[in-house]
Structure 1
Amino acid sequence: MRRIAIVGAGQAGLPLAFGLLDHGYEVTVVSDRTPDEIRNGKVLSSQCMFGAALQIERDLGVNDWDDVCPSVEGISFTLQSPEPGGGPLIDWKARLDRPGQSVDQRIKMPAWLAKLEARGARVSIQKAGVAELEALAKSHDLVVLSAGRGEVAQLLERDASRASFDTPQRALSLTYVHGLKEANDYARVSFNAVPGVGEYFVIPALTLSGPCHIMFFEGIPQGPFDLSRDALSPSEQLDAVRRLLRTYLPREYDRAKRAELTDAQGVLAGAFAPVVRKPVLSLPSGRAVFGLADAVVVNDPISGQGSSSAAKACKVYLDAILARGDQPFTRDWMEQTFEQYWSYAQFVVQWTNSLLMPPPAYRVQLLDAATRTPAVASAIVNGFDDPPALFPWWEDEHACEQFITQRQAAVPVTG
């Protein structure tokens, strides 16, 4: 029986633990907080998982919220005039081929930790530094570092050849609320972009007190949407959110007028720099630790890929570990396994980074074409489930023009 330690109790590490237990591995999970501390703490993210990632959870038998979590049936996109009180310049919506889902991690992670322990995993509550990693590496065949937050992830070296930014590109703030008016037609993520100001999202979700919505701002640093500059109380943050909506997104303000906080811990504000790190950490002893998911690839949440990418990274690593059999987990194997994941993740990084920059003219034309051609809107929306499918036409002007022409030509002529 091979022994594997997973440091980090999140969206990648815990499903990996389930998959390994299913195949007879001895698993240790290291979390820096108890289930109760996670459940009673601040919200952790504005997560939204799309169909392919949810299927990974279902295949592992750990998706327990299908019957209670609101489905994300589609995505709408609005390019709003940056003038206060201005209207939409571009406005469209489309359905996802496979619905998405957003479960508050304060529900998900404690439930998974308890289930893992009941199934025989050893759950260790401790902060992991170099000394703890050394001890784990000595007593286990493989140590996987899946903790993207905290000092331990900083031990992995930044990959300057793949990381485009070294400072935060957006100031982030999210507020979990009840009472926000549902979108008409079908439940969806509302993606609102205000040029020169930032972005605002509404995400249907499930929290500790039931179905809710996440109001999520991505503000250009030091701009009007930057709510991280002041230490706001939860109620002050909600008031500030409503003031911004009334000024910049009046249609979204109408939806949020009666919104109330889900709980005092349902707010978060801050900023971080997107980064790509090298996947292998060499400890002083010479033993190696293998980085997973957002310990290695951290994207800005503007593309909503964090949780889905974590699940997909988990799948790549799980398959590679199982295929390794009794062979040692060498540095070369770790690097090759990460490259398998990078063949997917590079498109997520490229797409996400493009959303943080002013769009070129051809991409504005693409977004505008989606208002008249449902097939264009559908392709963009379903790219959230499968980002590589957005290429090359998202990044190449000529390919984009061809893509629009082909999709328009496929529209049947009536009348």
Structure 2
Amino acid sequence: MNILLLGGGGREHALAWAIAQNPKCERLFAAPGNAGIAEVATCVALDVEDGAAVAAFAQENDIGFVVIGPEAPLAAGVADTLRAAGILTFGPSQAAARLEASKAFTKEICDACGAPTAAWARFSDADKAEAYIREKGAPIVIKADGLAAGKGVVVAEDLVTAINATREILGGLHGSAGAEVVIEEFMRGEEASFFVLTDGENVLPIGTAQDHKRARDGDQGPNTGGMGAYSPAPILTPEVQEKALGQIIRPTLAEMARRGTPFQGVLYAGLMIENGQPRLVEYNVRFGDPECQVLMMRLGAQALDALLACARGDLASTRMNWAEDHAITVVLAARGYPGGYEKGTEIRGLDSLGSDPLLRVFHAGTKLKDGRIVANGGRVLNVTARGATLREARDRAYAAIPRIDWSDAMYRTDIGWRALKD
């Protein structure tokens, strides 16, 4: 079948790489794609948040399956438009996508189904929010309610930081995404990510991962969209996964179905684990970035079979075949990220990495310019490797980085440190 993938980041390059390996994929299109995705797919210029335009392209090009990568088209209702046009689609409805598009909505769902999460309150008035912060004290977590491209969360260690963050968000720092703030209890423990596919009824776990949000080694510096990840996450033992499924994920899905908005797609549960007990930090309604890169590295071509089963409602009979391996990805970002950074710098040397099946460089923010690959974003490349052990995968990834000739690169040197600290 012909397949259309929406998105143009590292997550989508990993998905494109996995999908293209499956013989069910006859021709792969990507909108808008990037320089790396162009190696395995035909990139097309489409407004991915315009459902009518996406549906028209799909019909004109005999697209049998659409995979929606990023959250913005999901929140815009593109999946609804495609399904209404009779096009098989992977990704939740606009109503179900509120699990990511509104943090307050997710908290309401957790309250309704009894899923363990941080105590919370929401505000649209800065003075009332400040009074609440002073009452609760620090550390405390401030979140823009809506989608803020991964930049709407502040973990405030003191009252001044919390109050300033609240006033900045409500003052328009993130536009309409900050019309309300959600203020949460600071949860202690270790954070990890648990991914499941669901067709609205059945649930299929498809892997665990651990992200590194801070910009610099030792988990220092500002929060980013993610500077690296590894899979599996040791903290998410089979026992903890069963608790997360039984206490958080399945109750959430049951509540969504009860409300008439069943969830179909990938549900990414960010969990805080302390003493073997998981609590929900947040939901995302798409694959994480860069967690998707390590999951796809481990899953390969079978990922497409799972996505199709999810979209068709066939998950009950679907199984994943996991190798006893590990994967790690290291993000090469433009110097200055997540603050100001330069675009357009040339990247050389990618061809020198050869065809090692245990190593892939996924493009997150690149474009082709006059036949050259140039940086076109903050997070630019994902150097991703597999290994029999995490240490082997880590060593393979870090050995490849010096062979990439990009003078503007910055990256963390300690991805995987939590799992390797012993």
Q: TM-score, normalised by structure 1?
A: 0.30
More helix by share: 1
More strand by share: 2
| Higher RCO (CA < 8 A, seq sep 6+) | 1
Q: TM-score, normalised by structure 2?
A: 0.30
Query: Which is higher, the Rg of structure 1 or of structure 2?
Result: 1
